[in-house]
Amino acid sequence: MVARFTDNDNKGEDFTILLDDLPSSNGHRVKNIAFGPDGKLYISVGDAFQESNVQNIDRFHGKMLPMNRDGSIPADNPIGDSYVWALGLRNSFGIAFRENGDLIANENGPISEMSSM
């Protein structure tokens, strides 16, 4: 879940859920959130070990999701009326932005016999 509070004299008030139904597991879950230079909030969501959902635009598994500060879907998202900005991720974490505003997020793959050599 992504939620916000309104600051009222250093007290959080007006709890508002902006985005719900994000997948969770013991790993490969929401790893990072960051505001970009465009003012949008970017949320990296892992696959929650459900690889079959990472290409499904109707599920949040394995996606990068930007949203406006009010929780609405940005008008310039590539898939109309969807938070999905990038899909097919496994376990994305670590969001950063270049000086020109480009988003950089790292992605890690599975441990295999080859990677341990």
Question: Which residues are designated catalytic?
Answer: 28
Task: State the DSSP code for 58.
Answer: T
Retrieve residue 78's tokens.
């590539």
Supply the DSSP symbol for 52: G
Backbone angles phi, psi at 105, to 5 degrees: -135, 135
Helix (H, G, I), strand (E, B) or coil at 81: coil
Are 83 and 68 contacting, i.e. CB atoms less than 8 angstroms apart?
A: no
